[in-house]
Structure 1
Amino acid sequence: MRKVENEKIGRRRVVYVLLSILVAAGIWLYADLTSGPNGTPQTQTREFLEIPIEYLYESTLTDRGLMLVDEDTDRTIDLELKGTRWLISSLDRSHIRVTASLYDVTSAGVQRVNYVVSFTDSRFGNNAIQRENASFGMATVNISELYSRTIDVSCELVGGVADTYSAGQVELSHTEVEVRGLQEDINPISYAKVTLDIGANAVETVSRDLELQYYDENGRILDKSGIYSSVETVRATLPVFVTKELSLFVNFTDGPGCRARNTEYFIEPATIAVSGDATKLKD
């Protein structure tokens, strides 16, 4: 009997503890939301260090003959954000997005642009979380003029055609392209190349869009970062030809008293050889 009573008392204690936790959490939340001056929510400040800055409209700069240079450009920013203790404690740096527009930049040089803080989670929007000092700030960017050159484009062919097939010359949509960037990045470029892999036994014409790769005068591959091309890809086409021996036939039209079954005939030559695009002749 006493054992049963003790179990009941133990269960009551667990219930009381859980209720106490819920009540305490409710009081904490209520205090967090209403304990500020005049019943306004009480705020707390947190510091977030080295948040990346995302620069928008870099392609617009390129169209204007300009580019963003890493040197002397702010790539991260430190932020002091404030909000209710409930929200600020659940805010993670992955929720924070800092963007700066380069759309209005029209000249080279070190200059300042506005950056804006936004949030990927709607809970922190609508001014629920704010910057300590302002809703926007300034970032330093270094803008340089683009240097340009025209270089030749070649194609490296990998693979081969099947027996009885032959390959033509590779045709490129662009045999030269304009490259733009900082002079120290553009000067080492000697030429550009694409690689067309047709496999071991190609039996029809192959055509693909291929990315450019840049090489110096010694044939070494160069890093493509910081290099802008007038085209993103080059289409390479390899015509594949085949020669076929085709038999010749005659179609007769019957007439009065003249039937094909009563006719003897022969064709000389009995076959002809035709050659052409394998794609068209494969059937």
Structure 2
Amino acid sequence: MENKEIEQKDHQKELEKKSSDIKDDNEYSVILSRVIHEGEEIFKIKNKAMFLSAVIAGLEIGFSYFLICTLYYLMNGIIDTTIIFKLFAVVYPVGFILVILGKSALFTEQTSVLALPMLNGQRSIWELFRVWGVVILGNIIGGNIFAGFIGVLAPHLNLFTEETMIEIGAHVLKETSWVLLASAIVAGWLMGLLTWLLNSTMNSLTHVVLIIMITGVIGFGGFHHSIVGNIEVFGAFLHTSEISALDYLWFLFLALLGNSIGGAVVVGLFKYRIFESNFKEEL
């Protein structure tokens, strides 16, 4: 009798485990489905609208740069610069909140989103590169306009100086090429993960918390984000001859490459392969 009860309990535990596994599988599939659907909707946007949205994103993300420069200007000489650079995590998320909640087209937010429809066979790699190209161009133009504008305005409002912009840009460029690339991969990985997490919930407040958490880590770690970094380096390039056009373009290439690898490969490809190797076999 006791053996029979033990067998029933073991059977019940096995059923509960299977039920839990099915629930987890479904939740994973739902998130993946949402991300693929979001990516597919982005592919349908016309190039002109996508470009304008990307320019706006480049302008809006500039507010992260504005706050970084202001914080550095106010704190420099009061506390150690190493601590100031860590405090960037507090203000870094602001531009991302404006861009992501405002639904503007930001390259690093779309790397994994756009890669998944391609991996799912719905879009070609050339379509992926086309949209990436439009978004990157718009983000860079918008960011550079912001850098030029705020560089003229800020000194008049005593927010920060041209020297502040130079010091911020020099700090971004101080790393060797391989460190910069690896750092950009981490930043792209985190941004791809942010997209995945945002699609796991529909709550706006939770979205804000997730954006602050993930982009705060990027800011704290000093990981190289191609679009914010573009503004940081271009802003310095405008005001010093010590940073050449080649320095700027090399940074931009490495940051974009690293962010692409982190978002499309580490998050997009790996997340899809998990689905393909496990859940898809069960369908």
Structure index of larger Rg: 1
Query: TM-score of the superposition, structure 2-length normalised?
Result: 0.17
Query: TM-score of the superposition, structure 1-length normalised?
Result: 0.17
